[in-house]
Amino acid sequence: MLTYFANIFVTVLLLGSFLVWLSVVMRLRECQPPLAYFERTTHALDPTSVLMILLLWLAIPILIGRVLSVPTEASLLGVQVSCLSSGLWLFLVGVILVTNRRHGKMDFGIDLSDWKQQLIVAVLGFLASVVPVGLVQLLTIISGIRHPDQMHSYLSLLKEYPGATTFIWIGVAVVVVAPLAEEFMFRVILQGWLQTRLSAGQAIMIVALLFSGVHQWPDPLPLLPLALILGYIYYRRHSLLTVYVLHALFNLSNLAIALLKLPEDNSGISGAVKKILSLIDDAYFCL
């Protein structure tokens, strides 16, 4: 039953993605860009601040991991430390930026004046990522680079230790904390800085390669199209909210599909999902 819902969900996403790309093709045929450019006046961080923020990004997880003796294999403690590291990094970066009075919120893509339009662009961008990411993922499986049953370490952890605590922490990590920290680091800080020194295309490509490269192999391959879409949208709209929500939707959809495809039992997360869907079915039948 859960696999059926997963297949329906994937089908809907693919259909939405094809419609978005059809719209992109039609705009290109009319010599229009896929996404309108948002005019703004911003100031990128100085190289010293960028270097300091990057060093914090690299050092904080290592230091906290050693202090708390986090095991190398996937564990609930590792997920919690990941959330703690990202949260601490965001806090310290916020302190750095607040003390640097030369910059305003708009310099970092923070502007909620048209938040509804930003959310619409985020949803459309997420749908646009489905087809190219799916195609690359399929190619990695066909070529033997990825085994069909290969899972992300967090999903393996969830499968091994199903339960509400594990599910909540993984959900917070992959849907809330990681997308916000990664988008602020890669799109706002790095891409925002590189765009003042290189062409937009070069900045987007460099940051996309860096973003993809920090993930576990072979995830960098299917994540590259996502990173390019994120980079393009941030360049055109200059909105942290947009790229964050897009990234969060991407992670959430992958988590949802993985949960629906977990072996069904009555004790773990998949069993809980099955019971909820069963209640929905009963409610629908009563209506």
Q: Count CA within 13 A, CB hemisphere, residue 72.
A: 0
Mean pLDDT of 110-132: 94
Burial class (CB in 10 A: 0-12, 13-18, 19+), 246: buried
- Higher-pLDDT residue of 41 and 131 is 131
For the chain, what percent of residues have pLDDT higher than 70?
89
Taking only the tens place, the pLDDT of each residue in 39-59 is 777 777 888 889 999 999 999
Per-residue pLDDT, 260 = 74
The pair of three-digit structure tokens given for residue 48, joined into one six-digit string: 């010293």
Taking only the tens place, the pLDDT of each residue in 212-266 is 998 888 889 999 999 999 999 999 999 999 999 999 999 999 888 877 766 555 4
State if pTM tops 0.85: yes
The CA distance from 92 to 98, in Å, is 10
Closest CA to 175 of 107, 254, 119, 267: 254
